[in-house]
Structure 1
Amino acid sequence: MNPDSRSAAVPSAAGQRTRVLVLSTVAFTLLFAVWLMLGMLSIKIKPELGLTDGQLYNLTIAAILSGSLGRFHFGIWTDRYGGRRVLTALILLTVLPTFFVSRVTSYYELLICAVLYGVAGNSFSVGIAWNAAWFPKDRQGTALGVFGAGNVGASVTKLFGPMLIALVPATGFLDGVVPGGWRFIPVVYAGLLVLMAAAVWFLAPREDRTPARGRALSELVAPMKHARVWEYGLQYTVVFGAYVALSGVLPQFYFANYGKELASSLSLNAQLVSDFDTIKGLKGEAYTAYMTANPAVKTDLDYLSKWIGFLAAICFVFPASLLRPLGGWLSDRFGARGVMAAVFWAMLISGVALSLPLGLGVWAFTGVLFVLGVGMGVGKASVYKLIPEHFPREVGAVGGLVGLLGALGGVLLPLAWAAVPGSTFGALLALTVVSAAWFAAGSVTVRKLAPKPETVSETVSAR
């Protein structure tokens, strides 16, 4: 190849990498919004369908499990068949169940939809493996951090959902064919998913990269024997699983614990403030009857919901998502382990403040929550920078398993919180302490032994 040919090929490869990164990030943002959409919509769905707190937890868990258990397999499939094919198929699988959320009339119908559209959560391992295959090692941290910022999708419904609900007529459009209220949101998502599938299929590079094509499954799963994989899994549970769990319950947590204080500080309807404890317990017909009889209270309650969504998005979900590219860049520049150490300090300090009975007001609570979100956002990128450093040819399998373990944390934490009321941040702090201790022990070992990357492919070939 002559020099001119080589120089022409470089921009082409760079352009293809950029397309993969942009398409996967936008798709992941949308799919993540779909995966966690019940977090914000639950404020409206709970009284309309007469759901209990236990049923809301079940719905959240169903969606998270569906988007977690397949991550290992989706990572391997991406390495074998290419991200373009796997991501397009995954998007199309979520379209119909997302749309049918707008038609549910009972808890069980919504539960079935949650299980089916929850597969959207597996898009994370698809994007990680796809981008790792396209980007060189010295740029993987930044690229994976940019892709992972798609976690911000968790805030899309929280931030824009209440605005759309307020703008759309309650009766919807086309004589109710397109419903109004909260039911309008899943219809919009279903339409966007169709457009996203078309964009990935037609705009992504046709000649995809498949690093695991032709390799035996036993070789791909060999990393599971390394303790380091499970250490990364626990770290990701702390920075991602807890993020997913908190994103799902924060709107309801704010409403239950700080709704009255927030309504008072915003100078909302005096009746809303005085009757707040009663309103929290209303369900079904009783809720509808109260709101019909008190339209001014309903108006201010909708406004309060917007504020809760705004606080949860701006002060937690945004820093825990949008700072992921920064975490990737810092990991590329200063080393992932050093960045991870700083992350643990931030999470331990904020975790202690949130766990102790300090009587934090709504604004102090929100400020400390912001620090926790910053730690999670930077930490998520650091964990995934470590994976290709130690398992460069098994990113799909290892990244999928680590993602699975982290997402399962998003299931187990809400269960712990439901079983032990008031344990939300105490349980998270305990998990952070365990992970930080394992990380510290591993850091001492790294400094003493300075091990080479644990590339399973080299281990296999050496036998």
Structure 2
Amino acid sequence: MTVEDAQTSTRWRAYLALGLATVAMIVCFMSWSNFAPLAGELAIKFHLSVSQRTLLLATPVLLGSIMRIPVGILSDRYGGKKVYLILMAFILIPLLMITKVHTYGMLLVAALLVGMAGTSFAVGVSYASVWFPPEKQGLALGIVSMGNMGNAVAALTLPSISTSYGFNMVYYFLMVLTVILAVLFAIFCREMPVDKTKTVTGALAVAKESSTWYLSLFYFLTFGLFVSFTNLTPLFLEDIFRVPQVTAGLYAALFAGLCTVVRPIGGAAADKWRPMQMLQWIFIGITVFAVIITLTFSNQSLFIFGIVGAGLIAGFGNGVIFKMVPYVLQGNTGAVTGFVGALGGLGGFFPPLLVGWIHTWTGSYRLGIVLLALTGLVCWYALWRRFIHGDVHIVK
């Protein structure tokens, strides 16, 4: 084999790993976000209040966020392929449980366990990043992060499957998809290079880096907005504007799809221009669109415009932020991804709970959106104080 043939083979394996890691994440995210597009049906089936619905939507996000840290560390130490396959096998358990439960309490247990599907983000990013040089990682990480598209695919397909074939068929469908992707991943992907001398203590050293926590804060806003609004959009539209479940699911799919598509564009832009400068405008844009949403609760078209606008900017910001992740502590990408991804996931956990509580107290969702605008301003100030006005730099 010539040097050129070897390089071509290496590139092919890299793109195959990137492609299958992305598709596997899409399937995992479909399971992770399965409750949102079916929230109306679940509310009827289990007689749920608004606060119970929002707790159900938030529960998978909790475990899927917290467990990104150890799963990211395991991927760095033992290899992303092994961890991915074990994860997909585990997801089958709660998917099957959901078809058997008859009480709200057991549904919450299944929701907690299916949250492990959200850790696929830490595995996918760790696995995909090792095949590409630093100058191409922004785009590569943006592409693999398009696995977030699973939220959109779930919103687009699951309500129709439930309406046409029954509630349980949704979960049989998800189980079949998961098995198919696990088989493809096992056959066609090779294991990533790992450093088995790494220790958990060494991996946790990323927590000592202040930049890890700043990126976590920024991702708390951008990715948290993506997860929260993907889950809450059907609830908002059904409750405020009386939109049917399937139609609300289509709007949620549009939101999640657009947010995901712009993510690699943000990563590619961060390969060429200064990421921190772009983040200033991202945080300002999120704040502006949040204000627009608060003023349009009586106009469905403008309300949707505000949600989609905020999501597009947040999706772009997700790509920009993850361009910087491999530079925080090189060689521990999985660990940094786990920390940043965990905080970002928690950004999708707390808002639905707050929105549910606020609605219970006030009868309105408006105050929850005001809190989003305030979070945007906090992130902008932290960015300006630390990285724009200050002398700290992650990517030169």
Measured against the shorter chain, the TM-score band is: over 0.9
User: Which position in structure 2 is the counterpart of 1:175?
Assistant: none
User: Which position in structure 1 is the counterpart of 2:218?
Assistant: 235
TM-score, length-normalised on structure 2? 0.94
TM superposition shift of 1:200: 1.1
User: Which position in structure 1 is the counterpart of 2:384?
Assistant: 440
Distance 2:297 2:267 in 1: 35
TM superposition shift of 1:116: 1.5
- Which digits, 9 at most, give the CA deviation of each residue in 1:390-431, with x for residues without a partner? 322221111100101111121111222223232221111111
User: Which position in structure 1 is the counterpart of 2:362?
Assistant: none
User: Which position in structure 2 is the counterpart of 1:428?
Assistant: 372
User: Which position in structure 1 is the counterpart of 2:169?
Assistant: 184
Distance 1:413 1:163 in 2: 27
TM superposition shift of 1:88: 0.5
Is the 1:391–1:453 contact (alpha carbons within 8 Å) kept by the matching residues of 2?
Answer: no
TM superposition shift of 1:443: 2.8
User: Which position in structure 2 is the counterpart of 1:225?
Assistant: 208
Q: How many residues align?
A: 390
Distance 2:297 2:175 in 1: 42
Cα pair distance change 1:84/1:345, threshold 3 Å: same
TM superposition shift of 1:453: 6.6
TM superposition shift of 1:336: 2.0
Distance 2:336 2:288 in 1: 30
Q: Which amino acid aligns with 2:325?
A: I
User: Which position in structure 1 is the counterpart of 2:178?
Assistant: 193
TM superposition shift of 1:452: 7.0
Distance 1:326 1:256 in 2: 34
SS at the partner of 2:190?
coil
TM superposition shift of 1:185: 0.7
**Poorly superposed stretches of 4+, deviation over 3 Å:** 357-360, 449-454
Distance 1:453 1:380 in 2: 16
Distance 2:24 2:284 in 1: 32
- Which digits, 9 at most, give the CA deviation of each residue in 1:186-232, with x for residues without a partner? 110011111111111111014x221x421233322212122211110
Distance 2:353 2:164 in 1: 35
Is the 1:96–1:190 contact (alpha carbons within 8 Å) kept by the matching residues of 2?
Answer: no
Are 1:361 and 2:299 counterparts?
yes
Task: Report the RMSD for the aligned CA atoms in angstroms.
Answer: 1.8
Mean alpha-carbon deviation: is it higher for 98-107 or for 19-28?
98-107
TM superposition shift of 1:141: 0.6
Distance 2:279 2:355 in 1: 26
User: Which position in structure 2 is the counterpart of 1:410?
Assistant: 348
TM-score, length-normalised on structure 1? 0.80
Alignment of structure 1 residues 299-338 onto 2, 5 Å: 304-314=244-254, 316-338=255-277
User: Which position in structure 1 is the counterpart of 2:236?
Assistant: 253
Distance 1:451 1:48 in 2: 52
Distance 1:327 1:71 in 2: 23
Structure 1: runs of 5+ lacking an equivalent: 169-180, 263-303, 455-463
Structure of higher CA gyration radius: 1
Structure 2: runs of 5+ lacking an equivalent: 360-364
TM superposition shift of 1:385: 0.4
User: Which position in structure 2 is the counterpart of 1:61?
Assistant: 58
Of all paired residues, the percent bearing the same amino acid is 26
- Which digits, 9 at most, give the CA deviation of each residue in 1:249-298, with x for residues without a partner? 21111111111xx5xxxxxxxxxxxxxxxxxxxxxxxxxxxxxxxxxxxx
Are 1:10 and 2:10 counterparts?
no
User: Which position in structure 2 is the counterpart of 1:156?
Assistant: 153
